[in-house]
Structure 1
């Protein structure tokens, strides 16, 4: 397993794990599921977060197109099959 970790300006962490059959990108958003919307377009994940009257949009480049999205306790997980 290979791991990469990034921190944004607001110190929320994004981690990327590489396994034999997939990549997993995990981001600690700290937001409830209903405040987050994720669209996958090709190899780009578009993440729109709403917090009060503030809306933030972030794009993540994915290592492939076969992606699935899950949210659990404020953690966004995107799994991309190889």
Structure 2
């Protein structure tokens, strides 16, 4: 397994794990806002967040197209099969 951490210019924190059969991208939802909506278009993840009356959209590239999205205990997890 290998791990990469990213903090963008807007201070959003992502961590990417690489396993033999998949990549996992994880993000702390607390840094994204109160309401979170995630769309996967091809290899792009689009995360739309809402905090009060402020809506923010963040996009990042995924390492593949076969992706599934889950949230659990305040963590957004996107799993991409190799």
TM beyond 0.5: yes
Q: In structure 2, what is the equivalent of residue 14 of structure 1? A: 14
Secondary structure in 2 aligned to 1:37?
Answer: strand
CA-to-partner distance for each residue in 1:7-32, whole Å, 9 max, x for gaps?
Answer: 23454420000000000000012145
Q: In structure 2, what is the equivalent of residue 36 of structure 1? A: 36
Gaps of 5+ in 1: none
CA distance, structure 2, for counterparts of residue 14 and residue 52 of structure 1: 23
Q: Is this contact kept in 2: 1:44–1:61, CA < 8 A? A: yes
CA distance, structure 2, for counterparts of residue 51 and residue 73 of structure 1: 18
CA distance, structure 2, for counterparts of residue 11 and residue 48 of structure 1: 16
How many residue pairs align between the two structures? 80
Q: In structure 1, what is the equivalent of residue 45 of structure 2? A: 45
Secondary structure in 2 aligned to 1:63?
Answer: coil
RMSD (CA atoms): 1.3
CA-to-partner distance for each residue in 1:44-79, whole Å, 9 max, x for gaps?
Answer: 010000010011100010000000000112211000
Secondary structure in 1 aligned to 2:63?
Answer: coil
Q: TM-score, normalised by structure 1?
A: 0.89
